[in-house]
Structure 1
Amino acid sequence: MASKTKGPPPEDYDPAAPLTDAEIKTLRPAREFFAERGIPMPVPRKVGRPRQDENKVRVTMRLDAKIVDHFKNQGPGWQTRINEVLAEKVAKSR
């Protein structure tokens, strides 16, 4: 059985060689390439989280160490839990 692995590339092989004029003349827009093959044009995926309806505001505040420790000891999401406690307090005061 013949080996499927190829030997090392020739010494003069350059994987990042600049395109020749002949190669540049054969280039065409990606839309044409995909249309010829009946393949839909790839759409780049959106990166990151989806936008929320209600944006949050970044703040810097100083809290007692006991308060921060209490929420951090409950595990990940401690900042969200602080936000929930404050939101409850605001809702009750209305």
Structure 2
Amino acid sequence: MTTQLTSKDGEVRELNDDDVKDMRRMAEVLPTSLQRSIGQRGKQQAPTKVKTSIRLSPDVIDHFKQQGDGWQRRIDQALKQYIREHG
């Protein structure tokens, strides 16, 4: 018997060992058109950004990471605002 993964309210329950054993590979359940490699990005929706490496102070990184996901985007926005104000 399969136990529902979600409640009537749509809340997802914690997966257990049996759930993991019942999982199937992506290739078995998705059509080829929807499959992609793990870590492979989909088509860019916005203009492509430039990948770079930059050294920032730990307190700067901590500040943005404490606000949750999207911390790199927020750093980008903060730098754009600086350019607008000081450009």
Task: Return the TM-score normalized by structure 2.
Answer: 0.49
Task: Return the TM-score normalized by structure 1.
Answer: 0.46
Q: Which structure has the larger Rg?
A: 1
